[in-house]
């Protein structure tokens, strides 16, 4: 027999190497609050159901509440030689009350239902934190100043200038995407919020457990009934990792635009000094490192999803130790995602867009060529395909002359030659990026009125989520 809590059938203890290889106390530090809370709920249920005598339940509760306070004071230390948080707390209770009393704690329970219960409790907190952090960032994006409704950016497709958009349109686009990440997190919360406690090792137990009671005491929405499913399932956690990975990608795409557009060649946006660093050799450098890291860290969240899927795919039902690999992976993703969400909110608050530069690029990149085609359709009754050809021929002729849409004299002359004369001042009006932005009044378009309406819609959704 060894002095391990499970030592009855063993003659020899595990080696230090094996302990180091198998222990999870470093990872379990985040689960102490959940494990203690769960112990308390379990003992209340055991006592209420007469599964352990009243005075035993009282003694156990006294000991657990002391440990709770010790943990609140930051003084509870997990001992590596006790493997994991569950054995640590059981051992602490036994050391305080003796095995005769303390040894009742693990009645009708296993570390297999315990660990999933703890992880779900911790994960619920993280999901709520992630929802809150997303809502903060969305709030920053939606609080754009009114002048950004007509602050100009080139909109891109294929990374080529496409049509002008407003800064407010860009910000609301990211807010709209982030709101879906919020919905995904809430969906994941719904399937995390189920109590596996009382499933025991895998098959349930002969003791008359009240699983509804422990679920309620732990704030779970419902019981996950099937004991074998409850102890085996990790899909709830993979689903969360998927929500983190998708959310990480949302942030990464925004970061990519900030990195690219802050380069000299674009000069469309500048991050505040507090979110950039310099170079050890090149004095002129201002590197948007926060955005670069936000982009890079999406590799962690994506990687975690693949790690978890791969880890779990071959595990037969019933607990196997492979499953204990879930937590370090997941913690890694949680830290990457939450830190990126929070720092992105700070960075976004300080972004300075250069509308004059945006307008300049839109002129130079023929971003409003579509507007001439639309004009010929609306004012001259041409079919759009025909008008597209006329405008395309104008672009081609201007390019050959090394001119742009700004050269309205050249533009008017070329169009007259094409048999579709348009007066110079009219051309100047048609091609002005600001006028194009103001004109995209279709629902969801980039005009101030459309963006204003979308902002109201998004704000309403935010209020709904905040009240959740």
List, in sequence order, every residue forming a beta bridge with 160; answer none if it has no partner.
Answer: 157
Q: Using the minimum distance from each CB to ligand ARG, give the nearer residue, 112 or 340.
A: 112
Q: Which of 24, 192, 214, 355 binds ligand ARG (CB under 6 A)?
A: 24
Query: Nearest distance from residue 326's CB to ligand ARG, in Å?
Result: 7
Q: Using the minimum distance from each CB to ligand ARG, give the nearer residue, 153 or 333.
A: 333
158 catalytic per annotation: yes
DSSP 4: S
Q: Using the minimum distance from each CB to ligand ARG, give the nearer residue, 319 or 440.
A: 319
88 contacts ligand ARG (rule: CB under 6 A): no
460 sits in the region (left: phi over 0; alpha: psi -120 to 50; else beta) called: alpha
Query: Nearest distance from residue 313's CB to ligand ARG, in Å?
Result: 17
Q: Using the minimum distance from each CB to ligand ARG, give the nearer residue, 83 or 359.
A: 83
Stretch that binds ligand ARG, among 73-81, 255-263, 317-325, 403-411 (CB under 6 A): 317-325
Q: Using the minimum distance from each CB to ligand ARG, give the nearer residue, 323 or 415.
A: 323
Q: Which of 41, 57, 82, 115 binds ligand ARG (CB under 6 A)?
A: 115
Query: Nearest distance from residue 115's CB to ligand ARG, in Å?
Result: 4
Q: Which of 319, 329, 337, 431 binds ligand ARG (CB under 6 A)?
A: 319
Stretch that binds ligand ARG, among 239-247, 262-270, 316-324, 437-445 (CB under 6 A): 316-324
Select which of 158, 159, 206, 280 is catalytic: 158
Q: Which of 111, 124, 234, 375 binds ligand ARG (CB under 6 A)?
A: 111
With tokens 């999901």, the residue in question is 127
* DSSP states along 179-206: HHHHHHHHHHHHHH-EE-TT-TTTT--S
Find out whether 361 and 268 touch, Cβ atoms under 8 Å: yes
Q: Using the minimum distance from each CB to ligand ARG, give the nearer residue, 19 or 289.
A: 19
Residue 436 Cα distances to 90, 155, 163, 287, angstroms:
69, 12, 8, 33
Find out whether 153 and 258 touch, Cβ atoms under 8 Å: no
Coil, helix or strand at residue 160: strand
Distance CA 182, CA 423 (A): 50
Distance CA 31, CA 460 (A): 35
Q: Using the minimum distance from each CB to ligand ARG, give the nearer residue, 111 or 295.
A: 111
Q: Which of 35, 39, 84, 371 binds ligand ARG (CB under 6 A)?
A: 84
Name the closest residue to ligand ARG (Cβ): 324
Find out whether 106 and 90 touch, Cβ atoms under 8 Å: yes
Q: Which of 301, 324, 408, 447 binds ligand ARG (CB under 6 A)?
A: 324
Select which of 226, 272, 279, 396 is catalytic: 279
Closest CA to 125 of 82, 65, 172, 185: 185
The tokens describing 1, both together, are 């027999």
Cα 392–Cα 396–Cα 402 angle in degrees, nearest 5: 140
323 contacts ligand ARG (rule: CB under 6 A): yes
112 contacts ligand ARG (rule: CB under 6 A): yes
Buried b (16+ CB within 10 A) or exposed e, 29-61: ebbbbbbbbbbbbbbbbbbeeebbeeebbebbb
Find out whether 346 and 139 touch, Cβ atoms under 8 Å: no
197 contacts ligand ARG (rule: CB under 6 A): no
Catalytically active residues are: 158, 279
Residues at the site binding ligand ARG, with contacts judged by CB under 6 A: 24, 84, 111-112, 115, 319, 321, 323-324, 327
């Amino acid at each position: 027999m060894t002095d391990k809590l499970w030592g009855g059938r063993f003659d020899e203890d595990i080696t230090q190497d094996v302990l180091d290889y198998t222990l999870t106390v470093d990872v379990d530090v985040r689960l102490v609050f959940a494990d203690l809370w769960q112990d308390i709920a379990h003992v209340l249920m055991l006592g209420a159901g007469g599964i352990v005598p009243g005075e035993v339940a009282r003694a156990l509760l006294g000991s657990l509440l002391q440990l709770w306070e010790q943990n609140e004071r930051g003084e509870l230390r997990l001992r590596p030689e006790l493997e994991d948080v569950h054995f640590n707390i059981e051992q602490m209770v036994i050391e305080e009350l003796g095995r005769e009393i303390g040894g009742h704690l693990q009645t009708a329970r296993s570390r297999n239902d315990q660990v999933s219960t703890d992880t779900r409790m911790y994960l619920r907190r993280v999901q709520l934190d992630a929802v809150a952090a997303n809502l903060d960032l969305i709030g920053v994006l939606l609080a754009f100043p009114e002048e950004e409704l007509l602050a100009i950016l080139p909109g891109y497709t294929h990374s080529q200038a496409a049509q002008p958009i407003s800064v407010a349109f860009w910000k609301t686009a990211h807010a709209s995407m982030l709101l879906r990440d919020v919905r995904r997190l809430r969906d994941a919360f719904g399937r995390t919020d189920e109590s596996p406690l009382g499933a025991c090792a895998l098959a349930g137990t002969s003791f008359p457990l009240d699983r509804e009671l422990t679920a309620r005491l732990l704030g779970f929405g419902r019981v996950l009934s099937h004991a074998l499913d409850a102890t085996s399932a990790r899909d709830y956690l993979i689903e969360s990792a998927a929500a983190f990975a998708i959310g990480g990608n949302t942030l990464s795409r925004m970061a990519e635009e900030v990195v690219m557009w802050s380069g000299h060649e674009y000069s469309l946006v500048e991050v505040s000094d507090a979110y950039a660093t310099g170079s050890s050799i090149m004095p002129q450098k201002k590197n948007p490192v926060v955005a670069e890291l936000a982009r890079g860290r999406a590799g962690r969240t994506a990687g975690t999803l693949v790690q978890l899927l791969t880890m779990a795919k071959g595990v037969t039902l019933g607990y196997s130790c492979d499953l204990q690999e879930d937590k370090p992976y997941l913690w890694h993703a949680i830290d990457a995602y939450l830190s990126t969400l929070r720092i992105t909110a700070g960075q976004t608050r300080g972004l300075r867009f250069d509308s004059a530069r945006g307008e300049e690029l839109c002129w130079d990149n023929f971003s409003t060529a579509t507007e001439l085609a639309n004009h010929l359709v609306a004012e001259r009754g041409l079919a759009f395909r025909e008008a597209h050809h006329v405008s395309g021929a104008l672009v081609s002729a201007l390019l050959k002359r090394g001119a742009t849409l700004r050269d309205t004299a050249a533009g008017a002359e070329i169009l007259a030659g094409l048999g579709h004369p348009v007066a110079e001042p009219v051309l100047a009006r048609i091609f002005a990026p600001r006028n194009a932005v103001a004109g995209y009044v279709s629902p969801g378009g980039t005009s101030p009125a459309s963006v204003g309406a979308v902002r109201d819609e998004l704000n309403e959704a935010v209020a709904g989520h905040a009240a959740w």
